[in-house]
Chains A and B, each alone.
Chain A
Amino acid sequence: MEKKKYKEIVDKHTPKENILVNALTAFTIGGIMGIIGQGLIEFYSYFLTIPEKEASVCMIVTLIFISCLLTSLGFFDKIVNFCKCGLIIPITGFAHATMSAALEYRKEGFVTGLGANMLKLSGAVIIFGVVSAWTFSLIRMLLGVI
């Protein structure tokens, strides 16, 4: 098939996504995630009397556990299809990427499959995070010295 014709057909069948509706959905879901985060911090610091700094670590671990569990049960992909960035931008997206890679490559063996590919998607976050954090704190260090 000619390239032009092919492109026309692809354009015709690509669903037109409404940017405004998507953004509003992401805003609402992301906001709810923020409220859940704050609620969990207050829950841990009030009822289990953990200092607030450690309570925020507990909150992040809880969210990661919930999203790992939902991903392995197969619900998370369906929810992401609806909520989009509302669940990808929060820490749940990071856990989802790790978990789905682990599930997918599990059958290829432990070392060459699971071990080598678990951080396939989320490794980008860690690598760029570390590189940028190191560079930016080096810059801040140099500015502080001057």
Chain B
Amino acid sequence: MIEQYLSPSELKRLLSALLVVALFIAIMALFGFLVVPGTRNVNQPQTATAVESPQGDTGWLDPTDYPAAARQVLPPLDPRTVMTPNPGLMARGKVLFAENCATCHGPEGRGNGPAGVGLNPQPRNFTQPTGWVNGYRIEDIYKTLREGVKGSGMVSFNYLSRKDRMALVHVVQSFGAFNHGPEDPKALDALAKLFASSGEVIPDKIPVAFAEQQLESEFTPAPPIPGTRTNPLLKEAVTDPARAAQTLAGIPRWREDDKALATAVSIGLPGNGFSPAVATYAPDQWKALQSALAGH
């Protein structure tokens, strides 16, 4: 059909020209594909829109930012509700035991909780009457909860309320099938009087950022040590004068007791502003350093 309009040679020239044009367009398209943004990468990020975090820079609500609250005094406890087990108290105590105790003492109180495996001494086994450090009477267990056990992993739980601690006492006793009595009536009376006499105090709370400000405003830098640049003794012993002054301020009686000074400075090495060389000082050198630090 096209032969009617174009001779073969004209057709050939036309096709050649079209081919050149098509090649040109193909090359330009390839470069456009490479250069023009957005045509190449399907994962190209969309135009970024700033997302405002609700609070703080993490995007989460800041748990350290809460309104300041004045102290609260709870009403005194009625001893009759806590001195002997009752169903409500036991239910509460079981929950508290699972939360606070079971990880070391085990869910059945056998002292075989997962976190207790590495402890020395081992957590108490509440099912056996042996080995109780403070004893297993009500007042003894209460004392343990209040004070902890020195030299063991048992810390003081006196941040729990008195009622919660008494609930735990009864739950701990309920694990052992042996006889836990007899209680010392005087001690029990004292406990009951304590519960009835005064309420517990929930302390004042302020936001953490404000607590930081308070600590910063209360902080007074330690007085500088005189002569750290001139005294050769101090030049050798003190590497960071400001830090050394801060360390000295935290050592009680260093002006009077050169042995206390030597101990307190030596154990803080390195990082307390003193040169590690002071660890090798003899007693008379410490005396000299003490008087140099005091500015004599």
Q: Do A and B bind each other?
A: no
B interface with A by C-beta (< 8 Å)? none
